[in-house]
Structure 1
Amino acid sequence: MGAIRLLGAPAVGQGDGSRAPRGRKAWALFAYVLLADRPPTRKRLAEMLFADADDPLGALRWSLAELRRALQGVDLSGDPVVMTLGPGTSVDALVTTGDSTEPLLELSGELLEGIDLESCPEFESWLLVERYRLSAAIEGRLRETAASLVASGRAADAVAYASKAVAMNPLEQGNHELLVRSLAISGNRPAALRQVAVCADLLRRELGIEASAALREAADLGPGSTAGPALGGHAAAASQLEAGRAAIVAGAVDAGLQCLRRAVSEAEHCKDPVLRGRALAALGGALVHAVRGRDEEGAIVLHEAILVAEQAGDRSTSVLAHRELGFVEVQAGRRQTAGNWLTKAQELAETDEEYAAILGVRGMNSSDQGDYPAAFEQLGESAESAARCGDRRQKAWSLSLTGRAHLLREEYSQAATALRESLELVRQERWIAFMPWPQALNAELELYAGHVDAAADGFEQAWVLGCQLNDPCWEGMAGRGLGLLSAGRGDHAGATEWLAQAASRASREPDRYQWVHAHVLDAASTAALARDDEERARPLVNQLAEVAARCEMRELMVRAKLHHAHLGDTTAADSARLLATAIDNPALDTLIHNSS
C-alpha cells in the first residue's frame, strides 16, 4: 500500500516506487488540492502559491508534473485540478472520512508540520484554519469511537481512544470525562480518580476554573445507572418511562432522570429490547437537553440506545438517537461527526415529525458555519414539516434559527417576522425553558430599530429567566445583549462588565454551545476595539480566532481576521476578504468594505 503522510513532517511510505516530491510548495499544492472544499482552478493555484515566480502558471505545471512523477498512484489533472488516488494509495489526513478507526491511534503531528510559506499569505491562512479543522475532526472521531466502545461493553478498549483525545485537546473537560468514564466502567477506579485529579489541577492552573460535578461523578457512575432495585415487569418499565418523560417536560429534571434510569433497568430486567432502547434514548436526550454538563454521559447512553434499537429493529428510536447525537456534535462544533449522525438519521426517517427535527438541527449546523442558503432551505423545510404534523415546539425552534440567520444578515424585517411567530408559538406552548432564546434575538432587533426601552425589557427578561433556568447559552445571549445596550448608551464600563459576564457564563460548562461562545467573544472584541483598548481586545480576538477555526464557523473566522487587521496584522484584511468570498451574507460584505 502506498502511504502518504501529511500529518507531522510530510513523508512517503517505502515499497511502491514513490519518493518525496521536491520542494515545500509541491507538498503545499498536494495538500491543498486534496483537502480543498472544491477542485481549485489552475489560475487560483498559480496566484496562491506561485505569484512570485516569473511564470506562475509554468511553475504550477512543473509542480503538478513533479507530484505525478514522485507519487505513484496519484493523478492530478484538468482545470479545475482534480486529484485521483489509485487503489492501495492512502493519505493519513483522510482518515476521518473512512470507516476504520484503528489508524486514529497512529496519527501524530499537525498538517504539513514544518512547512510555512510566508510569501503565500492566502495559503498560510488556509493552512492555519485547516490545521484546526483536521485536529477537531480527528478529536471528534476519537471521542465517537470511545463512546461507542463504552456503550457496546468494551470500555477497556475505549481507554486508548479517550486518552488520545485528551492528549490532543487537554483543556477540553469533556475529553477527560470520557476517559474517566471509560476507566471507571472498565473497572479501573483508581486510574479514573487519578485522571479526575489531573484534570482538576490542569483546569485550575490553565483556565482558573473548577472541574465540573459530572467529571467527578464519572469515576463512580456509568450510563444507565438506576435509582433503586428493579421491580421486574414490563408495566413498571413503561410507567417509569412515561413518568420520566412527563417530569422532564414539566421541568422536574432530577425526578425525571431518576424515573428514566429506573425505566432502563426495568426494561433490561424484563428483557424487552424495544422498551429498553426507547428508555435509553429518552434518558440520553434528557441528559443532553435538560441538564447542563451531562453531554458525555448522554452521548454514551445514546450510543447504547442505537445498538439496542438496531438489534430490536426499532427504526424510530434509532432515528431519535442518531439525531440527538448529531445535535450534541453541532453544539460542540464538531462538523464532520455531526454531519455523519444527521445524514444517517435522515436516511432512516419516515415521518414529518422526524424530518422536521432532523432538518432543524441540520439548519442550525449550516447557519453556525455561515452557509445561509443551505440553512434557510433546511429550516424552511423543517418548519413546514413541523406545521404538517402539528409539532409547534419544533416549528418555533426552527423559526427562531431562521430569525437568527436573517438578523446576522441584517435582514431585519424578515428576522422580525420569523421571531414574532416563534415567540407566539413559544407562549402558546408555555415553553419557558426555551423562551430566553427568541426573547434575546427579538430584543436585539428592537435595539437596532432604536426602541431602546423595549430592547432593555427583552434583554432583562431573557437574562433573569436564563439565570433561573441556569442555562449558560441563554445567559450568554442575554448578557451579550445587555452589553450591546450599555455600549449604545455610552456606558462603556457597563458594557465591558456585561460582555465579560456573558463570555464567562456562555463558556462555564464543558458542553457549551460553541457558536454562542464565539458570538459573545466577537461582541466583546468589537467593543474593546471601539475604545482602542488593545490590551483587552487582543486575547479576546485570539480566543475567537481559535474557537471559530476549530469549530468551522466561517463567518466568525472572517470577523476574527478583521479584528486582527484592526490590531495591526497587515495580512489579515486580505485573508478576511478571501475567506468571505464563500459566504453569502450582504452584511458581512458591507463590513469588509467599510473596514478597507
Structure 2
Amino acid sequence: MLAYLALQPDGTGRARTAALLFPDAEDPLGALRWNLSELRRTLGAESVGGDPLRLVLPAGWHCDVLTALHPAGDADPRAFDGQLLEGLAFADCPVFESWLEDQRHRIENCVLALLYEASLAALSAGRADDAVDLATRALRLDPFNADCHAALIKALLSLGEYRRAREQADKCRDLYRRELGLGLPAEVRRALVDADPVAEPGLPASAATVRSYLDAAGASLSAGSVDRGLEQLRLAVGLAQRTDDHHLLAESLVTLSGAMIHQAGGRGAEVADLLHRALSAEGPDGVSRTAATAFRELGYLSVQRGVPDRAAGWLDRAMRAAEGLPDEQARILAIQGMLASDTAHYGDAVAAFTESGRLAREVGNRRQQAFSDALLGRVHLLRGDLEQAAACLDRARNWVAGEHWTAFEPFVAGVRGETYLAAGRLDAAADLIDRSWVMAELAGDHCYMALAAGAEARLFLAHGDLAAAEHWINRGLEPTPWYLWYSARLLDVAAEVAIATGSPRASEFVERLAALASRSGMREFVVRAQSHRAALGDEAAAQTVPWLAKEIDNPALTAFLDRRHGVSL
C-alpha cells in the first residue's frame, strides 16, 4: 500500500485503492482502514488520510523510489539499486500485479536514463573515471543500449584508454550480431571517431570568427545544405573552445546540437554529450536562453526515448531558465504537450499546446504555430474529437505550406489522413496517407515512416483487406524510430491486425507493446496492450483493463473497450 500511495502524486480514491489491494476481502474498505492505521502508526498521524488519499512523508523521512523519479541535483544514481518491492509477487491480486509490473519497468527505465545522463555530465565536467563507472552500470541494466555503449567508449577515449574503447566496441558489435543479427550501431561507430574538423591554423579564435561561422551555418541550413552547415557549426565549436568565452562556447554547442537533432535526425549520445557540455560551460542554474534551449532539447530527447519522468524534470528546468522569453516558452510548452499526450494526460496536453500556439502567434513564429496546432490535432484525433482535430490539422497544413516546411509535412498529412479515416472518408484518407508515406520514405525519416505505415495498415483494415494491412505492418516495422510513441502506435495496430487474422505473431506484438508502453509510461497503450491480451484469452488482463482505463479521460478509448469487451467505465 505504501508503494502504491507513493506513486500516486495526485492522490487516489479510497474505494479505488480498496478495490485494487483487497479485492477478495469481505469488507475491502474496512481492510483499507486497518492498513492505513498501521501505516500512520509507523509514519505519523498526518502521513496519509483524506479522500482522495495522499501520502505526505514526515520531515526526516525519504522514499527511494520518489528520489529516483524526481532526483535532486546532487543525487547519485548509483544509490538506486534493485527493484520496486523486490522479491514480492501478488498472484492472488492480478490487477495490482499488473500495476506493479508496469511501475517496475518505468522505474528501471528512469534509473537507466539517470545513469546515462550522469555519465555524460561527468564526462563534460572532466570526471572521465566517474563517467566510465556510470556508463558501465547503465549497461548492466540494458546491454543493448547503443547510447550507453557510446557513452562508455567516449569516457574511455577521454582517459586515453584506446585499446579498451576498441574492445568495448567489439563487444557491442558481437552482441548485436549474435543476438539481433545487426551490425555495429551508428552511435557506437561515431563515438570511436573524432569527427570535429580543425580550423585553419592561422584563423584567429575570437568572438567575431565564431559568430561568422554560426551565421554561415545558419544560412547553409536554411538553404538545405545540412552537411555543410554542420561542418561550419563544428568549426564554430572548435574555435569557441580556444576562447575564454564560456557563454559563446555554450551557445555554439547548443546550436550544433539543435541542428543535429532537428535537421540531421540526431538523437543519440553524440547529441546529448554536446548538450551536457553546453550546460557545463554555461552553468546549469539561472535564466539564460542558451541554458533554456539545452534543457528543452534534453527534455525533447527524453520524450522521444520514452523516459517521461526525466523529460518532465528537464522541461521544468527549461521553463525556469526561459523566464521572460516567450518564444522559447512556446517551444518548451509544445514539448510538455507532447509529453502529456504520450502519457495520456490529454487535458494537460490541450492546455500546453493551446498556450504554446498563443505565444507563437504573439512572437510571429509560424513554424511553431504549425507544430503546436498539428500536435493539438493529434490529441483531438486520439480522443475522437474529429471536427477539432480537422480544424487544427488544416491550420497546420496551411502554415506548413506557407513555410515550405516539407520535413514536417509527412506528420501533418498522415494525422490528417487518419482523421478522414476515423470519419469514414476512406478515399480522402488514402490520398493523404499515401502522400505521408511517400514523403517520409523519400526523406528517410524513420519516425514518420512508422506513422504512415501504421496509418496505411488502419486504412486497409477498414477496407477489410487484412493481407494488405499485414504488408504495411511489416514495412512499418523495418525502420527503427527514435520517437518510441510511433513504435507503440504501430505495435498497437499490428496486434489488432494479427488478432483479426489469427496470426501466431499476435502474442509477440502484444508483449512488445506491453513492455514498451509500461517502460515508457504510455498509459493508454498499457491499457490497449492489456485489452489485446484479454482478446487472446488472458483472464487476469481482462480484470485489469477496466481498472487501468478508468484513470484515462478518453472517450475514444472508452468506446473501443466497450465495443470489444463490453466494458463500461
Under a length normalisation based on structure 2, what TM-score does the superposition of the two structures give? 0.93
8 Å CA contact 1:423–1:435 kept in 2: the answer is yes
Distance 1:423 1:530 in 2: 34
2-structure distance, mates of 1:43, 1:373: 24
Distance 1:497 1:92 in 2: 46
Picking from 365, 376, 381, the partner of 2:355 is: 381
Q: CA RMSD in A?
A: 2.2
Is 1:456 equivalent to 2:426 in the alignment?
no
Q: Is 1:34 equivalent to 2:6 in the alignment?
A: yes
Counting matched residue pairs gives 560
Structure 1 Cα separation of the partners of residues 489 and 561 of structure 2 = 18
Instruction: Check the 8 A contact 1:214/1:294 in 2, yes or no.
Output: no
Partner letter of residue 409 of structure 1? R
The C-alpha deviation readout for 1:115-143, integer Å capped at 9, x for no partner, is 11122222112101111111111112112
Question: Which amino acid in structure 2 is aligned with residue 536 of structure 1?
Answer: R
Q: Work out whether residues 150 and 187 of structure 2, in 8 Å CA contact, stay in contact via their aligned partners in 1.
A: yes
Is 1:168 the equivalent of 2:113?
no
Shifted more, 259-268 versus 150-159: the winner is 150-159
The 5-angstrom pairing of residues 75-474 of structure 1 reads: 76-80=47-51, 81-96=53-68, 97-99=70-72, 103-221=76-194, 225-229=196-200, 231-232=203-204, 233-310=206-283, 315-349=288-322, 350-474=324-448
After superposition, the C-alpha distances for 1:305-359 in whole angstroms (9 at most, x for unaligned) are: 1222238987111111111111111111111111111111111221221111111
1:459–1:169 Cα change, 3 Å: same
**Contact 2:49-2:55 within 8 A present in 1 as well:** no
Deviates more, 1:45-54 or 1:252-261: 45-54
In structure 2, distance between residues paired with 1:473 and 1:195: 29
Matches of 1:405 and 1:549 in 2, distance apart? Answer: 20
1:17 matched residue in structure 2: none
- Asked if structure 2 preserves the Cα contact closer than 8 Å seen for 1:369 and 1:554, the reply is yes
- Displacement of 1:73 after TM fit? 6.9
Could you give the per-residue CA deviations for residues 10-43 of structure 1, whole angstroms, max 9, x where no partner exists? xxxxxxxxxxxxxxxxxxx221122223333443
Cα displacement (A) at 1:100: 5.8
Q: Deviation at 1:390?
A: 0.6
Supply the AA of the counterpart residue of 1:310.
G
Match of 1:7? Answer: none
The CA deviation at 1:206 is: 2.7
Instruction: Report how far residue 74 of structure 1 moved.
Output: 8.9
CA gap 1:100/1:362 in 2 versus in 1, 3 angstroms: closer
**Residues 289 and 52 from structure 1, CA distance in 2 versus in 1: closer, same or farther, beyond 3 angstroms?**
same
Question: Does the CA-based 8 Å contact 1:74-1:83 persist in structure 2?
Answer: no
When structure 1 is superposed on structure 2, of 109-118 and 208-217 the one drifting more is 208-217
- The sequence identity of aligned pairs, in percent, is 37
**Could you say if the C-alpha distance between residues 373 and 270 of structure 1 is closer, same or farther in structure 2, counting changes exceeding 3 Å?**
same
Alpha-carbon displacement from aligned partner over 1:515-564 (angstroms, at most 9, x marks no partner): 0110111011111112222x111100100011111110111111111001
Report the Cα offset of residue 227 of structure 1.
4.1
Return closer, same or farther for 1:487/1:186 CA change in 2, 3 Å cut-off.
same
Relative distance call for 1:420 and 1:52 in structure 2 (3 A) is: same
CA contact (8 A) 1:184 1:220 kept: no
Residues in 2 aligned to 1:99 and 1:262: alpha-carbon distance in whole angstroms: 35
Could you tell me which of 539, 547, 562 is aligned with 1:578? Answer: 547
CA–CA distance in structure 2, aligned partners of residues 400 and 449 of structure 1: 18
Give the Cα separation in 1 of the matches to 2:38 and 2:427.
Answer: 66
Structure 1 residues 158 and 218: CA distance shift in structure 2, 3 A: same
Q: Which amino acid aligns with 2:320?
A: E
Native 8 Å contact 1:288 1:295 kept in 2: no
* Partner Cα distance (1:594, 1:439) in 2: 28
Question: How far 1:65 moved relative to its partner?
Answer: 4.2
Q: Which residue is 1:538 aligned to?
A: 507
Once the two structures are superposed, what CA deviation does each residue of 1:228-257 show, in whole Å capped at 9, x if it has no partner?
446223322111111222323333222111
